[in-house]
Amino acid sequence: MSYKNYPMVSRVVFGRGSFNQLGDIISPKRLNRKAPFIFLVDDVFKGNTKIISRIPIAYDDQLVYISAKEEPKTSQVDDLVEHIIVSHKDRPSGIIGIGGGTILDLAKAVAIMITNEGGAKDYQGWDLVKNPAIYHVGIPTISGTGSEVSRTTVLTGPEKKLGINSDHTPFDQVILDPELTNGVPKDQWFYTGMDCYIHCIESLNGTYLNAFSESYGEKAYELCLDIFMNDNPISEEDMQDKLMMASWHGGMSIAYSQVGVAHAMSYGLSYLLGTKHGIGNCIVFDHLDEFYPEGVKLFKAMKIKHNITLPQGLCANLHDDEYDTMIDVALSLEPLWENAIGNDWKQTITRDKLKALYQKM
């Protein structure tokens, strides 16, 4: 038996207002005046001087606004890398992602693709990256995905939706400033927060569970209950602080185990219909009581408590070949099923079974 030797984020700052330290943190990493920092920033912050004026732009540094309306694509990564390479003589000093999981994943992928040949699609999979990425920093502005701590960057490519899972993927530096999550719309707060909750449920109920994952998963789960199910509401600030740490712990929990049924099926929805990760997970998880009875029961209670209505009938008018596409994507994620069900998962997880589940969504 050989145990996996996982990389982690090398440095992390936590605290309200810690975003102000960004300039001090990155300046020693500047290679020279012509080697810029590239700031990839969620375009929801365009015109938000409170955030933008604090980005420490100097010399040839470049700020690129990116829409988080759609999840990152391999072609988008390739375009960004080309744009960065042609606009600057020197290789950048670093990539800094400021936003949610969409922007964080893009920042990780761009940092990898600056030093690796070919296109991003060539690296979707496990341990395909050859050269170390350039210095990259993640600054989440919404909590839940765990992308800030994970070893993957999920991309939709021409053939598959799959992450670049590698030792070079994790950030060199993360800044956790819960104040940056001010202004997240309520529904989105719930969907992305539930991504974290579902990470906990899938990790804690998986066959890959071990004491490492459990210790993080239990903490994240406990924090989720404090945030989403507390009868004595906690302050907004407390809530933001706790959700940021829940996201981190949830991410750490799956790092050493795996996600499960909700993620496998939600990848199918997202590949075919472009359904975003947070809401997609919620739509799927709502129907998974046979796999996660306790977790789904609590999820439904949280939905009611926060007045969330999920879209219905997403798959109502799909053709057979469209179901097939979703089922192919879901079934291709073998480690997720193996974690959720066990080695013999193929005996119970049939195409018909998945079709029947998708038909409910």
Give the residues lining the site for Zn ion (CB under 5 A). 195
| CB of residue 283 to ligand NAD, shortest distance in Å | 14
Q: Quick one: what does residue 177 bind among ligand NAD, Zn ion, none, with the CB cut-off 5 to 8 Å set by partner type?
A: none
User: Measured between alpha carbons, how far is 299 from 6 in angstroms, rounded to an integer?
Assistant: 31
- When the beta carbons of 42 and 60 are compared against ligand NAD, the nearer one is 42
User: Measured between alpha carbons, how far is 100 from 270 in angstroms, rounded to an integer?
Assistant: 17
Q: Is the dihedral of CA 187, 190, 192, 194 positive or negative?
A: negative
| CB of residue 352 to ligand NAD, shortest distance in Å | 27
| CB of residue 209 to ligand NAD, shortest distance in Å | 18
Q: Quick one: what does residue 93 bind among ligand NAD, Zn ion, none, with the CB cut-off 5 to 8 Å set by partner type?
A: none
Q: Quick one: what does residue 275 bind among Zn ion, ligand NAD, none, with the CB cut-off 5 to 8 Å set by partner type?
A: none
User: Measured between alpha carbons, how far is 255 from 167 in angstroms, rounded to an integer?
Assistant: 12
| CB of residue 142 to Zn ion, shortest distance in Å | 13
Q: Quick one: what does residue 99 bind among ligand NAD, Zn ion, none, with the CB cut-off 5 to 8 Å set by partner type?
A: ligand NAD
116: left (phi over 0), alpha (psi -120 to 50) or beta: beta
| Beta-sheet pairing, 154-156 with 161-165 | antiparallel
- When the beta carbons of 102 and 253 are compared against ligand NAD, the nearer one is 102
- When the beta carbons of 37 and 285 are compared against Zn ion, the nearer one is 285
| CB of residue 86 to Zn ion, shortest distance in Å | 34
| CB of residue 294 to ligand NAD, shortest distance in Å | 22
Q: Quick one: what does residue 181 bind among Zn ion, ligand NAD, none, with the CB cut-off 5 to 8 Å set by partner type?
A: ligand NAD
- When the beta carbons of 36 and 138 are compared against ligand NAD, the nearer one is 138
CA distances from 21 to 35, 68, 196 (A): 20, 25, 27
Strand order from edge to edge, sheet including 136-140: 11-14, 173-176, 136-140, 94-99, 37-42, 62-66
- When the beta carbons of 72 and 94 are compared against Zn ion, the nearer one is 72
CA distances from 264 to 25, 327, 330, 333, 335 (A): 37, 9, 5, 6, 9
Note whether 146 and 251 are within 8 A (CB): yes
Q: Quick one: what does residue 142 bind among ligand NAD, Zn ion, none, with the CB cut-off 5 to 8 Å set by partner type?
A: ligand NAD
CA distances from 316 to 283, 324, 329, 356 (A): 14, 14, 19, 12
* Interface residue list for ligand NAD (CB under 6 A): 42, 44, 68, 71-72, 99-103, 105, 141-142, 144-147, 150, 152-154, 180-181, 183-184, 188, 192, 195, 276-278
- When the beta carbons of 32 and 182 are compared against ligand NAD, the nearer one is 182
| CB of residue 112 to ligand NAD, shortest distance in Å | 12
Q: Quick one: what does residue 192 bind among ligand NAD, Zn ion, none, with the CB cut-off 5 to 8 Å set by partner type?
A: ligand NAD
CA distances from 213 to 112, 221, 254 (A): 27, 12, 7
Q: Quick one: what does residue 42 bind among ligand NAD, Zn ion, none, with the CB cut-off 5 to 8 Å set by partner type?
A: ligand NAD
Q: Quick one: what does residue 220 bind among ligand NAD, Zn ion, none, with the CB cut-off 5 to 8 Å set by partner type?
A: none
Q: 11: which strand partners? A: 173
- When the beta carbons of 60 and 202 are compared against Zn ion, the nearer one is 202
- When the beta carbons of 93 and 203 are compared against Zn ion, the nearer one is 203
| CB of residue 276 to Zn ion, shortest distance in Å | 11
Output the furthest CA–CA distance in the chain (Å, rounded): 60
| CB of residue 171 to Zn ion, shortest distance in Å | 17
> Which has the closest alpha carbon to 18: 168, 242, 240, 175?
175
- When the beta carbons of 13 and 308 are compared against Zn ion, the nearer one is 308
Q: 64: which strand partners? A: 40
DSSP secondary structure of 190-213: HHHHHHHHHHHHHHHTSTT--HHH
Q: Record the tokens describing residue 22, joined without a space.
A: 């960004």
